[in-house]
Amino acid sequence: MLTSNPFAELAALISPEVMQGYIVLMVLLVIGGTILDMLHKRSAEYFFENAKEAQKSAKRTLSGGEKASLAAKTLAGEVLASSEFKSTRRRVSHLFTMYGFVLFVVSTAVLIFAYPTQSAAGIWPLLWHLGALALAFGGYWFWFDIRVDVASEGVKWHQLNGRGDIFILGLLATATFALLWSFTLGMGGWVNMALFVLFIVSATVLFGTVYWSKFAHMFFKPAAAYQKKLIKADGSMENLPGEYNLTDPAVQSKFPDIPEYMGTNPPDMGLGINRELPRHY
């Protein structure tokens, strides 16, 4: 079952051209929703104006090689490894969800465009199912465990918490109904068809609500992370604390607490962020 192309059997009811047209429509909805989101929030305009303003206070000019190195670090850290998450379980949950979603979407496109009527489609059916399973695992872990924890968000599982929930609920519904539809293909009948309809409705809501959900957020985060690395590297330090030489008498005069708290023998200030997590609820 996991190695069989679920769309091949569907081709007897829906032509491959219609399925391919649906994929193209979803791509256009994502592009259109992202553009509308940028125009409404003026995020792209704000980003470029901020970058131009930061260059005015830059202490040095970065070379092309330095910029490429920072871009590679952003790709390896924030994009591929989600290093912005400091909580290990939140990070792992996000990685399962992210890579599951990417694998699910890519394998769906490959199966529908390259193997629309072939039950045997190499490794792609297995990747499709594994992607949906990873997406569901990471998403449900976040929704029913991490999200409800008061140490993170403390939101009840049945409580919607703003527009951001449209995205995660769309992901969960799409992956769940896709798997249920695939696993009941052999049974046929109205149950299987109802699950397919729910799968399509969920996917349409997911890709059609980009303007209202946090879907477009995934495109902005890498750019923001890259810009943050640039302003630290060129010294413009926009919205970041300045860098001081703590041994400079002028700096110590400006900040008289430095010798006491930043010296070789600072006072014991408690556990700080390593204190006991709030789990008494």
Mean pLDDT of 215-242: 79
Contacts of residue 89, Cβ cutoff 8 Å, sequence gap at least 6: 141, 145, 146
Q: Which range, of 8-17, 93-102, 158-167, 206-215, averages the lowest pLDDT? A: 158-167
3-state helix, strand, coil in the chain (%, to 5): 65, 0, 35
281 confidence band (pLDDT: 50, 70, 90): very low
Strand blocks (E) in the chain: none
For residues 4 and 48, which has the higher predicted lDDT (pLDDT)?
A: 4
For residues 35 and 123, which has the higher predicted lDDT (pLDDT)?
A: 123
pTM attached to this predicted model = 0.82
**Residue 112 pLDDT more than 90?**
yes
Torsion sign over Cα 241, 242, 247, 249: negative
Residue pLDDT, tens place only, 147-163: 887 666 778 888 887 77
Domain ranges of the chain: 6-233, 243-273
Residue pLDDT, tens place only, 231-270: 888 877 766 666 777 778 888 788 877 767 666 667 777 7
- CA neighbours closer than 13 Å in the CB half-sphere of residue 40: 10
Mean pLDDT of 181-189: 88
CA distance between the termini of the chain: 43
The segment with the largest mean pLDDT, out of 43-47, 171-175, 239-243, is 171-175
The number of angstroms, rounded, from the C-alpha of 21 to the middle of its chain's C-alpha atoms is 26
What pLDDT, on a 0 to 100 scale, did the predictor assign at position 181? 96
Kindly tell me the burial class for residue 213, based on how many C-beta atoms sit within 10 Å of its own C-beta (0-12, 13-18, 19 or more).
Answer: buried
What pLDDT, on a 0 to 100 scale, did the predictor assign at position 126? 96
What pLDDT, on a 0 to 100 scale, did the predictor assign at position 280? 52
Residue pLDDT, tens place only, 12-24: 899 999 999 999 9
What pLDDT, on a 0 to 100 scale, did the predictor assign at position 239? 63
Nearest-angstrom CA–CA distance, 17 and 7: 12
Nearest-angstrom CA–CA distance, 184 and 189: 9
